Amino acid sequence: MKALRLGVYCDPINPAPSTFKSSPIFMDARKNNLACIRAQQSKTKDVPIITTSSNVSVIEELKSKDWEIGVLKDEIAATQGIRIRRRPPTAPPLHYVGPLELLLQNEGNSPRNILEEIVWNKDVEVTQMKERYPLFSLKEALNSAPPSRDFVGALKASYLRTGVPGLIAEVKKASPSRGVLREDFHPVEVAKAYEKGGAACLSVLTDSKYFQGGFENLEAIRNAGVKCPLLCKEFIVDAWQLYYGRAKGADAVLLIAGVLPDLDMKYMLKICKMIGLTALVEVHDENEMDRMLAIDGIELIGINNRNLETFEVDISNTKKLLEGERGEKIRQKDIIVVGESGLFTPADIAYVQEAGVKAILVGESIVKQKDPTQGIIELFGKDISA
């Protein structure tokens, strides 16, 4: 019988040279190491595993380093004006023997706001999911996944056809700020009603804890023959999620600038390109917009009118971020801007269109309507399906 010696596995997508110790690639590699070790352990029950004391100490050391790197990463993010800390809501690992000041500084921490809470939970969730579906298995699934659809192309075509911003209609049962929006929620029915109403693309919430969504909704909508390109509306904290989303039928994915520091954002964008996902990069304030305008290769930027830390909604945010030099730069770079959240009336649409958006992302105002197709007619004040 062949014995398996547990070792330190390399990140299957990006072997990380030791010189990149602080890069997101390296950090992902570390997380994947642990996930791979656990996955291999569970897959090889019939094979004797040599767990030497050095294996155990390698795992403990990796856990401690993971935690420590997380703390340092937050410090780097803070220098970019990012307020969301990426540490999971756990104390340092049990056997942590690192610097005392890091321990004291991070004791008894609780999330500062809802976005931070969501992100911390997501980190834990993704770590568990990775053990069930390791990256190598997802990569196999991607080989047989249907080709992705042209998300940006669909928005542009819709804008040209209708003269109003292309609609990304959101399939969302509930949200932390609004509670349950649609009691009798059938994602496929809602998706079909949106498509019938002239939506260019659909956004499908996949977070279950806070939005009562799920990847099964994304999959079901894709399998039901809906033709609109699909945005996987998720809180992306790890490149693994990009592979998972694509494997479940996503054509696009949301990357939140308030959560991802520049280096992570560039890394995620690269992987999106590699696996055929369009990235909708979301910003909420001037600092985030400026950071994203300094990154090359972004073709779609969403301006969220909702502050995800306080839930405050103000549609003049879209206008504010498109004024002056920023607007000029966006036009030069040929970026399509999406106005997101808090849009309810034809006057709201006209307001953000006047500000310069060519697409809008709308959930509440249409998902709440008994007939979401009719909801779209009321939102635009006209039928945009023809």
Residues of this chain that interact with ligand IGP (CB under 6 A) are 170, 172, 233, 282, 304, 340-343, 361-365
Q: CA torsion angle for 111, 300, 322, 381 (degrees, to 10)?
A: -100
Residue 340 in contact with residue 305, Cβ under 8 Å?
yes
Give, in order, the Cα–Cα distances in Å from 310 to each of 114, 126, 258, 364.
Answer: 8, 25, 13, 18
Distance, C-alpha 90 to centroid of its chain = 22
Distance CA 279, CA 301 (A): 8
Nearer to ligand IGP, 133 or 311 (CB): 311
| Between 134 and 302, CB nearer to ligand IGP | 302
- Residues 205 and 364: beta-carbon distance below 8 Å: no
CB of 208 to ligand IGP, least distance (A): 13
H or E element, residue 233: strand 230-233
Q: Which is nearer to ligand IGP, 127 or 175 (CB)?
A: 175
**Residues for the chain: how many in total?**
386
Kindly state the smallest distance separating residue 151's Cβ from ligand IGP, in Å. 16
- Which is closer to ligand IGP, CB of 66 or CB of 123? 123
Question: How far apart are CB 310 and ligand IGP at their closest, in Å?
Answer: 14
Q: Residue 225: left if φ>0, alpha if ψ -120 to 50, beta else—which one?
A: left
Q: Which is nearer to ligand IGP, 26 or 210 (CB)?
A: 210
CB 273 to ligand IGP: min, Å: 22
Residue 96 C-beta: closest distance to ligand IGP, Å: 32
User: Cβ(205)–Cβ(171) under 8 Å?
Assistant: yes
Nearer to ligand IGP by C-beta: 260 or 361? 361
- Minimal distance in Å, beta carbon 233 to ligand IGP? 6
